Amino acid sequence: MNEHVSCPTPAEAPVDRPNSKKVFIKTYGCQMNVYDSVRMGDALASEGYVTTEEMGEADLVLLNTCHIREKAAEKVYSALGRLRDMKKARAAEGREFLIGVAGCVAQAEGEEIVRRAPSVDVVIGPQTYHRLPEALRKARAGKAVVDTEYAVEDKFAHLPATEKAGIRARGVTAFLTVQEGCDKFCTFCVVPYTRGSEVSRPVQQILDEAKRLTESGVREITLLGQNVNAWRAAGPNGADWGLADLLYRLAEIPGLARLRYTTSHPRDMDDRLIEAHRDLRSLMPYLHLPVQAGSDRILKAMNRRHTGAEYLRLIERIRNARPDIAMSGDFIVGFPGETDQDFEDTLKMVEEVNYASAFSFKYSTRPGTPGADLTDQVAEEIKAERLERLQALLLKQQADFAKSCIGKTIDLLLEKPGRMPGQVIGRSPWLQSVNVDAKTSQIGEIIRVRIIGTGPNSLFAEPAESLIGA
């Protein structure tokens, strides 16, 4: 998960009418929040709001928050302090300025937010944001609205579909949430409490959204879910479909060249999903499959419900099915009770898997999770030291993987203009950013390129002979 993802320009800004109200959405946390910000922007567009990237010109500021690690709530409260001052200045001008808090901090803190930050007008949870326009209308009447119930109705069924022009404005790759919530209850994690239990979106809703995205120029869709490979729903004729079935079906959509999904749990990586990696050329050879730790003792304490050896065997099967697959993962160092030996086991696991990229974090105590009650917490400086060693190893693996790409000819999906004129940035099948000389009019095409070099966070390529997709 990346923290502080910048605002993804949620709704299109079609005609910037001088009188239209402006919303600034600040997105924290994971891709699911990025997707939710887009959908909230859509919901607000139907209320006459256009999105802005300038907080200073906004009439509504919405913080879409993340609660996965410590200090998240504190960061939100300090941002709210700054917004309170803005609100006062606006009030002096006689201009409306509304403040909303959405996402997982909203869900976890609820009323407490309004108590601590009375300038907040709306607190809305991840399951109720389809009711955001209504909440804003009520808040305008003067009283703050807190709506963090787990709504009985399906929010997606109540949200307006994204305007095609809006999709186009956002580019050729898109996220599509297919699953929310988690039933795994890893002992360190707040997700089962903030996002609730697992819910899968129905097949037809997903297919309609994927078609709409593709018809508007999207070439690559990343299916999202806190536990995406646990997605299950009724397929045609009532058949029980898992994520693999959904991927096979999505792969038939004309123009949809690339599919990805994230984030997965090792226990839900079934045979059919592995077969999908073998069979589907449009399913990109990149898999984010967090293991969190390498020691069986810690995996058990984390309630991951698999061993290190089982994880390694799984990866072997996946690699047998799709030999060019690049592995990615998440790691936590300093879970309560983690000894030097346990940490060495994590390093050993990383050596054995050889990750193309990975995220790693110091364990952060989350109130309300079982991990918070454990007494043998690891000292902060030990966590810091372990994280540094782990990250050095992961960064080296990432750099080695990038270097191993030099000389390869690959397919590149051209995504956006590069920093230099005449350059375009694309994505490799393994999710790396690649700079290549191309025309911006080619954005959306998949071209063959040869990798010729690596930079700190990206690769450099030159066009190879043939154009394979338009």
By CB under 6 A, the count of residues binding ligand 5AD is 13
Please pick, from the candidates 364, 377, 433, 442, the single residue that binds ligand 5AD as defined by CB under 6 A: 364
By CB under 6 A, the residues from 164 to 203 that bind ligand 5AD are 188-189
Polymer length of the chain: 470
Q: Which stretch binds ligand 5AD (CB under 6 A): 345-353, 362-370, 378-386, 445-453?
A: 362-370
Question: Which one among 24, 28, 97, 363 touches ligand 5AD, defined by CB under 6 A?
Answer: 363
Instruction: Considering only the stretches 90-98, 182-190, 415-423, 432-440, report the one whose residues sit in contact with ligand SF4 under the rule CB under 6 A.
Output: 182-190
Residues in contact with ligand SF4, shown as a per-residue x/- string from 372 to 411 under the rule CB under 6 A: ----------------------------------------
Contact 422, 398 (CB under 8 A): no
Nearer to ligand 5AD, 186 or 233 (CB): 186
Residue 186 or 283: the one with the smaller Cβ distance to ligand SF4 is: 186
Q: Is 176 exposed, middle or buried (0-12, 13-18, 19+ CB in 10 A)?
A: buried
Of 256 and 269, which has the nearer Cβ to ligand SF4? 269
Q: Which is nearer to ligand SF4, 258 or 265 (CB)?
A: 265
Residue type for 234, please?
A
Count of residues near ligand SF4 by CB under 6 A: 10
CA terminus-to-terminus distance, the chain = 32
Query: Could you tell me where the DSSP H helices lie in 360-468?
Result: 380-404
- Which does residue 184 touch among ligand 5AD, ligand SF4, none (CB within 5 to 8 A, set by kind)? ligand SF4
CB of 301 to ligand SF4, least distance (A): 13
Got the DSSP string for 245-279? Answer: HHHHHHTTSTT--EEEEE---GGG--HHHHHHHHH
Per rule CB under 6 A, is residue 191 in the interface with ligand SF4?
yes
Using CB under 6 A, pick the residue from 189, 203, 243, 287 that binds ligand SF4: 189
Structure tokens at 227: 């536990």
Paired tokens of 178 = 């297919």
Question: CA-to-CA distance for 425 and 389, rounded, in angstroms?
Answer: 31
Spatial contact of 133 and 124, defined as CB atoms under 8 Å apart = no
Stretch in the footprint of ligand SF4 (CB under 6 A) among 29-37, 99-107, 183-191, 337-345: 183-191
Tokens representing residue 148 in the block: 């963090």
Residue 11: name its binding partner from ligand SF4, ligand 5AD, none (Cβ under 5 to 8 Å by kind). Answer: none
Distance CA 93, CA 73 (A): 30
Q: Which of 34, 182, 213, 284 binds ligand SF4 (CB under 6 A)?
A: 182
Dihedral over alpha carbons 2, 174, 6, 20 (to 10 degrees): -150
Q: 162, 38 in Cβ contact below 8 A?
A: yes
What are the strands of the beta sheet with 286-288, ordered from one edge?
Answer: 286-288, 326-333, 357-362
Residue 85 burial by Cβ neighbours in a 10 Å radius (0-12, 13-18, 19+)? exposed
Site string for ligand SF4, 258-297 (x = CB under 6 A): -------x--------------------------------
7 annotated as a binding-site residue: no
Any residues with CB less than 8 A from the CB of 71 and at least 6 apart, and which?
none
Minimum CB distance to ligand SF4 smaller for 183 or for 271: 183
Annotated binding-site residues read: 30, 66, 104, 182, 186, 189
The contact set with ligand SF4 (CB under 6 A) reads 182, 184-186, 189, 191-192, 226-227, 265
